[in-house]
């Protein structure tokens, strides 16, 4: 106590020690949060990052084929929209394997999972009988991978960066 009956101010050394102790507690909490995030990161990737990647793919296909984003998500069956829609579905299937068929369908105006399967299988069937179609899909996949790299939406580790 000082002469005014007030407690003495803590010394600089005591303040430093208190600050260091608080920082150590914060570091422990940050380490715990980091461990939790690392444990959850595959789930986080499948939920938000893959949805961002899928939307980027849709917009990239729209720009490449000069169709509106809303048009490929519409219920329209017009041929000039069906092909870009199928290609976007095919690429999303390639680069966003964590998304369920229902989630992929939701990206295209709430389409049924069967519609998504049909689009993927149809393009795969075309590619299996027509070498030009196979070459086209390989080139498109490679171009899309390059676009995703450029946009910092790189493909998931384990997927080839070039055509699959």
If 0-12 CB within 10 Å is exposed, 13-18 middle and 19+ buried, where does residue 88 land? buried
The confidence band for 82, taking pLDDT boundaries of 50, 70 and 90, is: very high
CATH of the domain at 111: 1.10.1750.10
Domain range for 100: 45-150
Q: Is residue 68 part of a domain?
A: yes
- Pick 10 or 83 by higher pLDDT: 83
Q: Is residue 6 part of a domain?
A: no
Considering the chain, what percentage of its residues have pLDDT values greater than 70? 80
Q: Is residue 108 part of a domain?
A: yes
- Confidence (pTM): 0.67
Domain count within the chain:
1
Mean pLDDT is lowest, of 6-20, 54-68, 89-103, 147-161, for 147-161
Distance between CA atoms of residues 57 and 24, nearest Å: 44
Q: Is residue 139 part of a domain?
A: yes
- Pick 40 or 49 by higher pLDDT: 49
Q: Is residue 71 part of a domain?
A: yes
CB 123 within 8 A of CB 87: yes
Q: Give 116-155 pLDDT, tens digit per residue.
A: 999 999 999 999 999 999 999 999 999 999 999 888 876 5
Q: Is residue 34 part of a domain?
A: no
If 0-12 CB within 10 Å is exposed, 13-18 middle and 19+ buried, where does residue 74 land? middle
Q: Is residue 14 part of a domain?
A: no
User: Over 50: is that where the pLDDT of 160 sits?
Assistant: no
Q: Is residue 130 part of a domain?
A: yes
């Amino acid at each position: 106590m000082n002469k005014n009956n007030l407690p003495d101010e803590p010394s600089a050394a005591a303040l430093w020690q208190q600050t260091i102790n608080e920082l150590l507690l914060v570091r422990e909490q940050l380490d715990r949060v980091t461990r939790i995030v690392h444990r959850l990161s595959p789930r986080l990737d499948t939920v938000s990052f893959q949805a961002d990647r899928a939307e980027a793919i849709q917009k990239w296909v729209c720009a490449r084929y000069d169709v509106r984003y809303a048009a490929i998500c519409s219920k329209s069956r017009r041929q000039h929209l069906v092909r870009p829609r199928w290609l976007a579905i095919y690429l999303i299937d390639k680069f966003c394997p964590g998304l369920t068929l229902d989630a992929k369908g939701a990206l295209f105006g709430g389409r049924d999972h069967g519609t998504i399967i049909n689009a993927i299988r149809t393009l795969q069937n075309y590619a299996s009988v027509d070498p030009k179609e196979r070459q086209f899909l390989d080139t498109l996949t490679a171009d899309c991978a390059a676009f995703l790299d450029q946009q910092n939406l790189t493909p998931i580790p384990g997927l080839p960066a070039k055509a699959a």
